């Protein structure tokens, strides 16, 4: 007898008041909406995906408020507003996630069909008992998580770290909805109405609503992560060519030299300077000059390994840092680059002069290159390496341009390589 009383008392204590629970969740969603609204008018004001997620959060908040105010409205109207608003909010979430992970592309039409079918299910069960409505709508809303989960699982694993927490949160939300459908079948007596006191209904409902709430905060963090990464890239990369800038490259040269010393491996530095580049700007305009720099960067980048570092030193001067590359290997790559750049004017003529013809004729683009190598048996400092490469580049310019020159200490190595090839 005492045991039964204790169990009854414990159950009474553990029962959560559903209106209070819904109010707390709605309050949290309200705070999230405020955070999102501030973010979309601040640092993330240019993010279309954040605006869509904010719209979705407003819709979910509307659905929660409609559920809280159900006693004061016709039941069918409240049911329709609650569930359709939540579904519409989910559709905005799915669109935002898809665009965030697919460079702004629209989600496939199948996503719209899925949400349309879920909305139709809401209307079909409007006149049914509450337990039946909970069963059908829980399954419909749970299935609508699939597009978001698919996008996060297939495209988000190697992106922002917050996306992984979003994936787990939304999986939890979907499983909670399915658990709610199962709970209806197992304990239909606990689903006599939306505010009927029930420990099972309270816990499952809380789990269902916690998912979108946690995912919202995760999406905000993912957007801030992306903004931070882009700002870091802008600080270390040249906007026109996408190459590293000189400030970022200096630290990399020191690091590469230290690594070469530890591993006893060579490190090649190739300085490159576009020939007569001022004439290209003067005769063909700065648009042609900018395009020449972009095309040059594309030509060089297509011939590099993942470990190679490509730097824009300033103006028309560039550099390549080639870990584990000896003098013959650096000379071979430099010649490939020189020949490829020499063939570039034809492409520039066809692409640009057809749009803006000028009487002076075609743009001739060539490049001079100077090579220095810190060999395994003759290690150099960063300053010495750069100085030798710069001297080699100067000789290439003085020797007629459109040529490759190596630092004097490397000439014997290169001569041996040339004889063998």
Q: For the segment 222-273, what is each residue's pLDDT rounded down to a tens digit?
A: 888 887 777 776 666 777 888 888 777 777 777 777 787 777 888 888 999 9
Let me know whether 200 and 279 are in one domain: no
Q: Looking at residue 166, what is its pLDDT?
A: 87
Let me know whether 287 and 385 are in one domain: yes
CATH number at residue 365: 3.30.70.270
Q: Looking at residue 128, what is its pLDDT?
A: 85
Let me know whether 219 and 272 are in one domain: no
Let me know whether 27 and 137 are in one domain: yes
Let me know whether 204 and 287 are in one domain: no
Smallest CA-to-CA distance from 171 within 146, 151, 154 is with 146
DSSP 278-341: HHHHHHH-HHHHHHHHHHHHHHHHTT--TT-EEEEEETTEEEEEEET--HHHHHHHHHHHHHHH
Going from the C-alpha of 10 to that of each of 4, 183, 198, 265, the distances in angstroms are 10, 21, 13, 71
Domain boundary among 236, 252, 270: 236
Q: Looking at residue 358, what is its pLDDT?
A: 47
Q: Which residues of 302-313 are buried (b: 16+ CB within 10 A; e: fewer)?
A: eeeeeebbbbbb
pLDDT category of residue 413 using cuts at 50, 70 and 90:
very low
Contact 99, 48 (CB under 8 A): yes
Domain range for residue 369?
244-420
Of the segments 243-252, 352-361, 395-404, which one has the largest average pLDDT value?
Answer: 395-404
- Average pLDDT of the residues of the chain: 80
pLDDT category of residue 368 using cuts at 50, 70 and 90:
very high
Let me know whether 150 and 206 are in one domain: yes
SS3 at position 187: coil
Q: Looking at residue 327, what is its pLDDT?
A: 87
DSSP 191-203: -SSTT---HHHHH
> Higher-confidence residue: 57 or 46?
57
> Higher-confidence residue: 208 or 346?
208
Query: Angle at which helices 18-40 and 199-236 pack, to 10 degrees?
Result: 10
pLDDT digits 0-9 by tens, 207-221: 767 777 888 888 888
* Average pLDDT of the segment spanning 141-158: 86
DSSP 10-54: HHHHH---HHHHHHHHHHHHHHHHHHHHHHHTTTTTT-HHHHHHH
Tell me which of 97-111, 155-169, 290-304, 406-420 is least confident.
Answer: 406-420
Residue 354 has pLDDT above 70, yes or no: no
> Higher-confidence residue: 161 or 337?
337
pLDDT digits 0-9 by tens, 283-319: 777 788 888 888 888 888 888 888 888 888 888 899 9
Phi, psi (deg, nearest 5) at residue 398: -70, -25
Q: Looking at residue 95, what is its pLDDT?
A: 92
pTM of the predicted model as reported, rounded to 2 decimal places: 0.65
Smallest CA-to-CA distance from 283 within 358, 224, 354, 209 is with 358
* Average pLDDT of the segment spanning 192-206: 72
* Average pLDDT of the segment spanning 162-175: 87
Q: How far apart are CA 29 and CA 31, in angstroms?
A: 5
| Contacts for 42 with CB less than 8 Å, ≥ 6 apart | none
Considering its fold, how many domains does the chain have in total? Answer: 2
Tell me which of 92-96, 110-114, 257-261 is least confident.
Answer: 257-261
Domain boundary among 178, 201, 236: 236
Helix (H) or strand (E) holding 98: helix 75-101
Q: Looking at residue 272, what is its pLDDT?
A: 93
């Amino acid at each position: 007898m005492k045991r039964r009383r204790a169990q009854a008392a414990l159950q009474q204590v553990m029962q959560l008041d559903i209106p209070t629970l819904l109010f707390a969740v709605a309050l949290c969603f309200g705070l999230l909406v405020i955070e999102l609204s501030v973010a979309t008018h601040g640092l993330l004001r240019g993010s279309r995906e954040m605006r869509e997620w904010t719209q979705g959060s407003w819709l979910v908040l509307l659905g929660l408020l409609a559920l809280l105010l159900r006693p004061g409205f016709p039941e069918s109207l409240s049911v329709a507003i609650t569930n359709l608003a939540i579904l519409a909010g989910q559709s905005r979430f799915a669109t935002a996630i898809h665009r965030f992970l697919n460079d702004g592309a629209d989600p496939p039409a199948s996503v719209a069909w899925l949400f349309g079918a879920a909305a139709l299910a809401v209307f079909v069960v409007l006149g049914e008992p509450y337990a039946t409505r909970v069963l059908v709508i829980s399954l419909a809303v749970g299935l609508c998580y699939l597009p978001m989960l698919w996008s996060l699982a297939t495209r988000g694993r190697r992106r922002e770290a917050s996306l992984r927490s979003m994936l787990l949160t939304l999986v939890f939300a979907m499983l909670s909805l399915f658990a709610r459908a199962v709970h209806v079948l197992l304990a239909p007596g606990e689903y006599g109405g939306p505010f009927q006191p029930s420990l099972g209904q309270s816990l499952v409902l809380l789990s269902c609503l916690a998912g979108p709430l946690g995912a919202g905060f995760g999406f905000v963090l993912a957007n801030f992560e992306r903004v931070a990464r882009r700002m870091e890239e802008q600080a270390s990369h040249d906007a026109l060519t996408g190459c590293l800038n000189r400030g970022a490259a200096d630290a990399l040269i020191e690091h590469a030299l230290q690594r070469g010393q530890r591993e006893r491996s060579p490190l090649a530095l190739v300085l490159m300077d576009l020939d007569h580049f001022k004439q290209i700007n003067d005769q063909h305009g700065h648009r042609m000059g900018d395009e020449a720099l972009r095309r040059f960067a594309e030509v060089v980048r297509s011939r590099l390994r993942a470990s190679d570092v490509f730097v824009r030193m300033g103006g028309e001067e560039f550099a390549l840092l080639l870990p584990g590359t000896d003098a013959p290997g650096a000379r071979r790559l430099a010649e490939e680059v020189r020949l490829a750049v020499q063939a570039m004017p034809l492409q520039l003529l066809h692409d640009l002069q057809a749009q803006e013809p000028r009487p002076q004729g075609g743009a001739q683009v060539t490049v001079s290159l100077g090579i220095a190598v810190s060999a395994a048996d003759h290690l150099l400092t960063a300053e010495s390496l750069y100085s030798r490469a710069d001297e080699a580049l100067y000789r290439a310019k003085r020797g007629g341009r459109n040529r490759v020159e190596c630092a004097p200490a490397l000439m014997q190595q290169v001569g041996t390589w040339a004889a063998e090839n």
